[in-house]
């Protein structure tokens, strides 16, 4: 994830490099939790798993549309001002600003957690040239993770690691990183821990006590189009079919090659002989990444199915 350390890294130190006239940051959160089962509860046979945030429409579009409305309403009330909307697309330390604004604390799993809402919400920031001097700035809430280590204990790849008195997420071990951001092969020693995840991972949030009674969204944009898709069906997608199926979904970020790589790993981890034929077809793929992961998966099935 070079974008975290390249020329954009310095911009994160001062949001005025994004909007020189900025005087205030308004932080917002939008709930996306749905009523469907958690990844640790789902038992749909022959299925992969898509992270909850990607079940519906692309959140970038949904959240940005709402923030455009917010900006227009502020201009109606306060008159003209300069503004910039940021929705996970600008070099801005979103969680840090959200914490300072009082939206939640940063948990051991590195997610922002709100005592009432849990952690199932997207973040957005509105940089404005208005000084909000009449309102006392919000304050960060106390850390309420306490001695709980459920997220750390549940992570299959042990990606949440201690850093002194705090914890950080080691992307080199994170299932979400492997299945979304990584361009290239998933380290072989990490593949068993990926399980049936084909895009993202929710385990550390699924086990968090603050999410056990988290409210659900009423926004139809986040209604699930796919959360436990059939792996055989996914393995047969053409590149055009992949683009069509996920054209309005964050799943596009994995790219076609990376997505088939993830599907192959999930099949290999299943221990199910039903996937032998699809994997044999994928092992003949002209894409060397897909072929290599499918060949690995076939070896796993051969061992587990005693073929």
* Residue from 58, 88, 138, 272 carrying the catalytic annotation: 88
Q: Is 128 left (phi over 0), alpha (psi -120 to 50) or beta?
A: beta
Going by their DSSP bridges, the two strands 166-169 and 197-199 should be labelled as unpaired
Confirm whether 88 is a catalytic residue: yes
DSSP single-letter state for residue 22? -
What gap in Å lies between CA 81 and CA 75, rounded to an integer? 7
CA dihedral for 58, 93, 259, 151, sign (positive or negative): negative
Distances (CA, A) of 261 to 42, 112, 124, 170, 255: 22, 30, 31, 21, 10
Alpha-helical (H) ranges within 79-113 are: 94-100
Q: Is 102 left (phi over 0), alpha (psi -120 to 50) or beta?
A: left
Give the residue numbers marked as catalytic.
88
């Amino acid at each position: 994830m070079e974008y975290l350390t390249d020329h954009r890294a310095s911009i994160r130190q001062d949001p005025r490099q994004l909007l020189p006239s900025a005087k205030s940051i308004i932080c917002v959160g939008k709930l996306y939790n749905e009523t469907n089962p958690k990844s640790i509860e789902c038992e749909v046979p022959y299925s992969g798993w898509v992270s909850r945030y990607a079940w519906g429409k692309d959140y970038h579009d949904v959240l940005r549309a709402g923030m455009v409305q917010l900006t227009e309403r502020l201009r109606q009330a306060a008159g003209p001002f300069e503004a910039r909307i940021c929705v996970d697309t600008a070099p801005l330390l979103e969680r840090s600003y959200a914490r300072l604004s009082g939206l939640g604390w940063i948990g051991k799993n590195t997610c922002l957690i709100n005592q009432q809402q849990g952690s199932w919400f997207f973040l957005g920031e509105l940089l404005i040239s208005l000084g909000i001097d009449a309102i006392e700035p919000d304050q960060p809430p106390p850390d309420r993770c306490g001695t709980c280590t459920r997220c750390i204990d549940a992570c299959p790849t042990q990606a949440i690691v201690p850093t002194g008195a705090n914890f950080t997420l080691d992307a080199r071990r994170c299932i979400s990183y492997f299945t979304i951001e990584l361009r290239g092969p998933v380290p072989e020693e990490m593949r068993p821990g990926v399980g049936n995840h084909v895009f993202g991972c929710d385990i550390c949030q699924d086990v968090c006590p603050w999410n056990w009674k988290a409210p659900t969204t009423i926004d139809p944009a986040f209604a699930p189009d796919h959360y436990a898709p059939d792996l055989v069906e996914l393995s047969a997608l053409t590149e055009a079919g992949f683009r069509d199926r996920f054209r309005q979904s964050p799943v596009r970020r994995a790219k076609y090659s990376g997505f088939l790589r993830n599907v192959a790993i999930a099949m290999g981890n299943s221990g199910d002989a039903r996937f032998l034929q699809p994997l044999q077809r994928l092992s003949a793929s002209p894409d060397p990444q897909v072929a290599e992961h499918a060949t690995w998966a076939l070896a796993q099935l051969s061992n587990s199915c005693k073929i």
